[in-house]
């Protein structure tokens, strides 16, 4: 690991927003920091001083000031900025550094022509929709649900809902009825806003049947609002208002309900691959401070930027993206198939919109690499100065591909975090160089550590990713969990008072991080823990392999157990002994003999969640005899039919711990 691919310019402290923050700390606090590591150490040891500095540096608009920065730092149960009242939407719509006529939302998609909203137009739309929601009886604490894609209406609805102190929740319209109702029956929304359908590439997808089924399954609904998106001439469902009726004229001024710092802003959901998705409640203040810090100081975004992230409204990266205007950045929204008509589509979008920061997923970058794409040859990416990658670990070859094919002067930031904190807690920063295959640093205010099996912090070796000090964007709680039992079980059961995230991480001497997969999907061979990410990097690096999933079935008797690899092959290829040998040889040389699977099988598809994460744990459960319906909530899957092959395979096997080929 570790070739240096990018180095900060000599004047980085003069040009970057984190440089401005360091000057502010020197001037207003008398604090000087020699380097990023010193700043990070301070940010995670003096929590009160650090988070108060974020509040003051970004001039958070509050209605009443806080009486303290935080109460008891013990987790869970830390209270941040007690006494303060504020509103997330008010702080976002301030749009520092932007004039009324500046574009702040640029939306492209495959369903309708592009839409641009200026700062004044965005505020006006939020004003109208907030007034419309108020007419429907929506007030503080009520839930408003959006079954809608990444389009301006969904964003306006979030801000309008937040302005009233009501609580927002979105599901992307590719979610099936069951996955939507599994989420929303838990929070009982009062208002549903839904599209009639959308286009994915050139394919129209009608969702009117799903909308009817969702309405029928939510007795709490008092109002439905239809967005005529697929068919602009269409009429709203029976008994529903149209979006235009919701946003009809009224003279009510734009007002923001002041709410406590930890007042619920929105509910996000765990992927729900096993059991019901966890309804994770995020608060106004925590999300605001975390996103101000991350977007400005880590991603270096400000009024000169156009910020894009490829995401749907069903992934927390949408919530992260749409905080962009809070730091003055213009956001670029995209709804559609990123591979239509080819993988160059998003790069051409970046050129057309003059995007300065292009966020995507590691699988997308690796797919572009595999397709032999050279984005800088098909699109003018001269405005681009940052690329972000998340959703899965980006291997070294992904980094190298970006610098060779996208641009050699941009900063590539690989980041990792989660829905649980609605941010990245490890990522990049303008002050530090980029090393191939490595996440640059731990984020400010995020006390991330690697823990060995006995609970001691380790450097330079694989450990369980934990966070040992509270962050303001940790959830306010889970919905319908009044005594906090489910919340504690989810994060604090393994190490009391310490947040266990569920990933394997290695933190090196210089603070760089490598995440090697989910700790519950670990391959443990002969006492050596192997992360799945490096495994996939090798297997999927082969031209013949399109996708793969690996599981380790432990042996009750304490033996090595079985390592099973399932591969999806390129069109027209069949798995034969020659290819099996080639895969084994690659794994042995690139990784170790311990990584060589006992069996390799061909499948048509790897089961993935709607946000494209591989489902190693449910596959493992199915292979050890758990019925498909108990192993995974099919509604949370992009391709539920993919599980059948594993169930069939499990039935054919003589016994999990015998070495007879299936």
What is the Cα–Cα distance from 375 to 371, expressed in whole angstroms? 11
Residue 94 has pLDDT above 60, yes or no: yes
* pLDDT value for 659: 38
CA pair distance 348, 447, nearest whole angstrom: 38
The angle subtended at Cα 309 by Cα 419 and Cα 638, nearest 5°, is: 60
Q: For residue 443, what is the DSSP state? A: P
CA distances for 112 relative to 34, 145, 204, angstroms: 51, 23, 12
Cα 455 to Cα 449, 500, 613: the distances in Å are 10, 11, 28
Eight-state DSSP code of residue 273:
S
CB 189, CB 169: distance < 8 Å:
yes
**Secondary structure (3-state) at 180:** helix
Q: Which of 360, 415, 358, 414 is nearest to 387 (CA)?
A: 358
pLDDT of residue 661: 34
- The 10s digit of each residue's pLDDT in 441-461 is 999 999 999 998 888 999 999
Helices (H), 241-308: 243-246, 284-292
Q: Does the pLDDT of residue 388 top 90, yes or no?
A: yes
Determine contact, residues 507/320, Cβ cutoff 8 Å.
no
CB atoms within 10 A of CB 153: 22
The confidence band for 80, taking pLDDT boundaries of 50, 70 and 90, is very high
- Give the per-residue pLDDT at 556: 55
3 state SS of 632: coil
Ramachandran class of 304: left when φ > 0, alpha when ψ lies in -120 to 50, beta otherwise: alpha
CA 317 centroid distance within chain: 4
pLDDT class of 176 with cuts at 50, 70, 90? confident
Structure tokens at 613: 């994460």
Confidence of residue 522 (pLDDT cuts 50, 70, 90): low
> Does the pLDDT value for residue 350 go beyond 50?
yes
- Determine if residue 97 is left, alpha or beta; phi over 0 gives left, psi from -120 to 50 gives alpha, anything else beta: left
- What is the spatial distance between Cα 46 and Cα 84, in angstroms, rounded to a whole number? 20
On the question of pLDDT at 655 being above 60, the answer is no
Tokens read off for 581: 């040998």
| pLDDT value at 87 more than 90 | yes
Joined tokens for residue 422: 């609605």
- For residue 658, pLDDT over 60 is answered with no
* Cross-strand partners of 143: 167
pLDDT tens-digit series, residues 463-473: 999 999 999 99
Average pLDDT over residues 335-353: 96
pLDDT digits (tens, 9 = 90+) for 292-321: 999 999 999 999 999 999 999 988 999 999
Please say if the pLDDT value at position 530 is more than 70.
Answer: no
Average pLDDT, whole number, for the chain? 92
Q: Is the pLDDT of residue 357 over 90?
A: yes
pLDDT, position 503:
87
Decide: 107 and 333 in contact? Cβ < 8 Å. Answer: yes
Sign of CA dihedral 310, 171, 321, 515: negative
Q: Is 239 exposed, middle or buried (0-12, 13-18, 19+ CB in 10 A)?
A: exposed
C-beta neighbour count of 31 within 10 angstroms: 17
Q: Tell me what pLDDT residue 383 has.
A: 98
Phi-psi category of residue 41: left, alpha or beta, with phi > 0 → left and psi -120 to 50 → alpha: alpha
Q: Are strands 197-200 and 203-206 parallel, antiparallel or unpaired?
A: antiparallel
Let me know: does 373 contact 343? Beta carbons within 8 Å: yes
């Amino acid at each position: 690991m570790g070739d240096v691919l990018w180095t900060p310019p000599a004047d980085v402290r003069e040009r970057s927003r984190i440089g401005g923050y360091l000057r502010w700390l020197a001037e207003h606090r008398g604090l000087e920091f020699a380097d990023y590591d010193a700043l990070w150490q301070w940010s995670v040891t003096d929590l009160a001083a650090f988070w108060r500095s974020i509040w003051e540096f970004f001039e958070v608009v509050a209605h009443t000031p806080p009486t303290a920065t935080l109460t008891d730092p013990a987790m869970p149960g830390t209270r941040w900025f007690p006494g303060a009242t504020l509103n997330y939407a008010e702080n976002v719509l301030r749009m520092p550094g932007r004039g009324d006529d500046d574009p702040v939302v640029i939306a492209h998609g495959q369903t309708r022509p592009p839409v641009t909203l200026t700062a004044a137009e965005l505020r006006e739309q939020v004003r109208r929709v907030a007034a419309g929601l108020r007419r429907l009886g929506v007030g503080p604490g009520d839930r408003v649900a959006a079954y809608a894609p990444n389009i301006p209406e969904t964003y306006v609805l979030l801000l309008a809902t937040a302005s009233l102190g009501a609580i927002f929740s979105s599901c992307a319209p590719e979610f099936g009825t069951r996955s939507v109702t599994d989420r929303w029956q838990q929070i009982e929304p009062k208002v549903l806003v839904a599209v009639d359908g959308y286009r994915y590439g050139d394919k129209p997808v009608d969702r009117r049947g799903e909308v009817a089924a969702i309405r029928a399954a939510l007795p709490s609904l008092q109002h439905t609002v239809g967005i005529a998106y697929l068919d602009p001439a269409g009429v709203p469902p029976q008994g529903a208002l149209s979006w235009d009726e919701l946003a009809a004229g009224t003279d009510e001024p734009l007002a923001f309900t002041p709410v406590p710092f930890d007042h619920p802003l929105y509910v996000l959901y765990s992927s729900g691959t096993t059991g019901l998705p966890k309804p994770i409640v995020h608060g106004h203040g925590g999300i605001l401070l975390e996103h101000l810090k991350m977007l400005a100081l880590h991603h270096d975004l400000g009024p000169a930027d156009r910020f894009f992230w490829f995401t749907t409204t069903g992934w927390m990266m949408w919530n992260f993206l749409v905080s962009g205007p809070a730091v003055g950045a213009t956001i670029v929204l995209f709804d559609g198939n990123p591979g239509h008509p080819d993988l160059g589509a998003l790069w051409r979008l970046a050129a057309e919109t003059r995007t300065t920061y292009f966020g995507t997923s590691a699988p997308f970058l690796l797919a572009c690499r595999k397709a032999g794409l050279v984005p800088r040859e098909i699109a003018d990416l001269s405005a681009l100065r940052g690329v972000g990658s998340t959703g899965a670990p980006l291997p070294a070859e992904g980094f190298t591909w970006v610098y060779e094919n996208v641009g050699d002067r941009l900063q590539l930031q690989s980041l990792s975090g989660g829905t649980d904190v609605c941010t990245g807690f490890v990522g990049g920063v303008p002050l530090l160089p980029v090393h191939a295959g490595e996440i640059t640093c731990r984020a400010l205010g995020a006390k991330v550590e690697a823990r060995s099996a006995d609970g001691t912090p380790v450097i330079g070796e694989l450990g369980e990713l934990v966070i040992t000090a509270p962050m303001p964007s940790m959830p306010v709680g889970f919905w319908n969990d009044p005594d906090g039992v489910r919340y504690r079980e989810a994060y604090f059961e393994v190490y009391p008072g310490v947040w266990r995230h569920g990933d394997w991480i290695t933190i090196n001497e210089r603070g760089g991080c490598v995440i090697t997969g989910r700790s519950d999907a670990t391959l443990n061979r002969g006492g050596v823990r192997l992360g799945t990410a490096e495994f996939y990097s090798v297997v999927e690096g082969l031209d013949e392999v399109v996708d793969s999933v690996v599981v380790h079935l432990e042996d009750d008797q304490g033996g090595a157990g079985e390592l099973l690899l399932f591969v999806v092959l390129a069109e027209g290829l069949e798995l034969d002994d020659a290819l099996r040998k080639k895969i084994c040889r690659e794994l042995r040389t690139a990784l170790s003999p311990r990584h060589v699977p006992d069996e390799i099988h061909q499948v048509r598809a790897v089961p993935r969640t709607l946000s494209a994460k591989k489902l190693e744990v449910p596959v493992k459960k199915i292979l050890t005899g758990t019925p498909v319906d108990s192993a995974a909530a099919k509604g949370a899957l992009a391709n539920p039919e993919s599980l059948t092959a594993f169930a069939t395979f499990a039935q054919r096997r003589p016994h999990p711990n015998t070495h007879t080929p299936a």
